[in-house]
A and B are shown apart, each in its own frame.
Chain A
């Protein structure tokens, strides 16, 4: 399979700060690659270079066989980009936003209109088509932005944190939109700091740390490496932790760990949801009322702790814990 994106040895420095320290990457045609990393790990810089928005200090990058550094205007025909903030003209309607982009892609007037209508339909925006985009809620703005990136039906699409600032429901909606697009055979590069997002959407994950690849592999490989889901119970008193440990061991097949001072017991699990149901049943049968119970999914912070022995910046770790 031919590679749609080939980046080699990308380096970008801002003064004394090294944003990218020799990143290489190859994305096969029609697949999805995720650049996974915390803030300031170089994701955005990498995407901006591939999108012809930024010139690297060293390295090369071909998108769909076109060198983005020497022939940026040519390369732009094959690239759709959606940045961290939705690039939407608030004073234009959804329809006008897309029509304008289509016209700037040199489509004829009639073609531009029908393309705009087509995309509004596809991104479930038809009802809001003639309202100013400034009145759109965040999830709709993001959908309009994604539609904008696809106006020219580009074979390669670059997405930088496509769900930044969205609530969980809108995130799931955007994931659907993205995976539907991918089924069309588009090659997709996704920069994200959410492991679940990369896990859900990507065929290949590259974990970035301080401008270079820390590790790379399929989501399955990465999950196997860092462990997937864990069941976790917080109990009302310390005495119950013993009973809960036994139950958790039986439900999850051993390996339960007790954090006595936090009244917390957790265990790795393969199929989280059925195990959780079983856990609730057994706790109930034992007469234990947990303070908190749930499935804990591995986060980017877990990946980093595992790979580097260090946590990501505390603020990010907190944010990851919240989502």
Chain B
């Protein structure tokens, strides 16, 4: 077997492990998938009738792209829990004593995590459609939007893997991820345009990668984007690339050295 074919199979075997785990221990996946349903119910249906955002005519249309980004980020964040469980349970050590490269092990693992992220996105989108959200700009833009969304989710997955490798305990990993992702996803344009926020919070919400991706999606899909900020797409993709360039090498390095005991 050539080195490349061997590595490709290692990726597949590790990815299959993640997929089997998702199917047989469906708790994490269920959690990830339920979250956007719940949020849509609370913000779109229960509060949707009373929420009036200046400059937004159709709140469900505005809300759905935001909730998609948030759902994808949280689903990706759960990867940290699985990784921390593997560190704790000795599986990471076992894999590290096999002649399998760090890259093959982690690309396989993040590949299977991406499936969970995609399922979450699909459910969130379906809930959005029920609430009245539509893509108004044709199939090409729809695909471009989902490509951006999933690549963003993939980048967050790598960050989560890094957190999982450093956390030490699964519970710590879960707390760390939620402590980071909840403020980041709420102080953003997910629920309301930053322009409506108090002045001290606005810069944070505007500089947020979640906002950058949500804004790009609204522009792409014609969902209440408001005034078009300069370089919206470049900013969103820029964030995704920067996150990947940061998280991938750091996670690989951490995996090759000993992860937290």
Among the interface residues A55, A103, A132, A148, which one has the most CB atoms of the partner chain B within 10 A? A103
CB-CB under 8 A from A106, the residues of chain B are 1, 6, 9, 99
A293 to B93, CA, bound (A): 44
Residue in contact with A105 in the complex, picked from B17, B89, B99, B257, CB distance below 8 Å: B99
Name which of A75-83, A177-185, A186-194, A284-292 contacts chain B.
A75-83
**Interface code A129-155, partner B: CB below 8 Å = 1, 0 otherwise?**
000100000000000000010000000
Residue in contact with B97 in the complex, picked from A51, A55, A88, A89, CB distance below 8 Å: A51
CB-CB under 8 A from B254, the residues of chain A are none
Judging by beta carbons under 8 Å apart, are A86 and B97 in contact? Answer: no
Judging by beta carbons under 8 Å apart, are B93 and A104 in contact? Answer: no
Judging by beta carbons under 8 Å apart, are B94 and A91 in contact? Answer: no
Q: How many whole Å from A265's CB to the nearest CB in chain B?
A: 46
Judging by beta carbons under 8 Å apart, are A89 and B258 in contact? Answer: no
Q: How many whole Å from B96's CB to the nearest CB in chain A?
A: 6
Instruction: From known contacts A76-B98, A77-B99, A92-B20, infer whether A103 and B9 are also in contact, taking CB-CB under 8 Å.
Output: yes
Residue in contact with B90 in the complex, picked from A80, A85, A103, CB distance below 8 Å: A85
DSSP majority for the B interface? Answer: helix
B21 within 8 A of A: yes
CB-CB under 8 A from B98, the residues of chain A are 76, 101, 104-105
Among the interface residues B1, B20, B25, B98, which one has the most CB atoms of the partner chain A within 10 A? B98
Which residues of A71-118 have CB atoms within 8 Å of chain B's CB atoms?
73, 76-77, 79-81, 83-92, 96, 100-101, 103-106
Judging by beta carbons under 8 Å apart, are B257 and A55 in contact? Answer: yes
CB-CB under 8 A from B93, the residues of chain A are 51, 53, 81, 83, 87
What 11 additional pairs, Cβ within 8 angstroms, besides A53-B93, A87-B91, A101-B98? A51-B97, A52-B96, A53-B96, A77-B99, A84-B90, A85-B89, A87-B90, A96-B20, A103-B13, A104-B13, A105-B98
Which residues of A does B touch, CB under 8 Å?
A: 48, 51-55, 73, 76-77, 79-81, 83-92, 96, 100-101, 103-106, 132, 148
What are 28 residue pairs bridging A and B, where the CB atoms are less than 8 Å apart in the complex?
A: A52-B96, A52-B97, A53-B97, A55-B257, A76-B97, A76-B99, A83-B90, A88-B89, A89-B17, A89-B91, A90-B89, A91-B20, A91-B21, A91-B24, A91-B25, A92-B20, A100-B17, A101-B94, A101-B98, A103-B9, A103-B13, A104-B14, A104-B98, A104-B99, A104-B100, A105-B99, A106-B9, A148-B94
Which residues of B does A touch, CB under 8 Å?
A: 1, 6, 9-10, 13-14, 17, 20-21, 24-25, 88-91, 93-101, 257-258
